[in-house]
Amino acid sequence: MKILVASDHGGFELKNKIFNYLKEEGFEAEDMGAAVYDKDDDYPEIMIPVAMRVVSDPENTRAIILGKSGNGEAMLVNRFPGIRAAVYHGGNLEIVRLSREHNDSNVLSLAGGFLSEEEAMEVVKIWISTPFSNEERHVRRNEMMDNIE
């Protein structure tokens, strides 16, 4: 499983820490940018290539994306068929677990402006380690989402 990591300025520092953690833990991780901090960058320019990569190999690729709130980034990538991005901005960690177990989320969008490094790392660990349940009802619902025309 390849894990792409990307952020605009709103989650830049946290993105680098998550990327380094993934590499240290032996994950096949790829930093998709931003490569340098730029307070005026535009997240669509960074997130569109990420979404395209996940869509091109959904069985083997997931992504962790960050922005200040994580909302705009998730809204953008969720426009791509086959992307199921979940947003986490703090609170109950069960939400992250359910995004994998029930929805088979393949993108995790984090609110870099609202999460501590410790909380973000815990979320990443849960998201990576939680498998999709493969329950028939969840498979059926995900297929419905993925096949909207």
Q: Supply the residues annotated as catalytic.
A: 73, 102
Answer positive or negative: Cα dihedral of 103, 24, 123, 43. Answer: negative
For the record, the structure tokens of 121 come out as 């790392």
What phi, psi does 33 have (nearest 5°)?
Answer: 105, 175
Residue 109: CB partners within 8 Å, gap ≥ 6? 65, 66, 67, 70, 71, 73, 74, 77, 85, 86, 87, 88
Q: Using alpha carbons only, give the angle 28, 106, 93 rounded to the nearest 5 degrees.
A: 100
Task: Please state, in angstroms and rounded to a whole number, the distance separating the CA atoms of residues 14 and 107.
Answer: 16
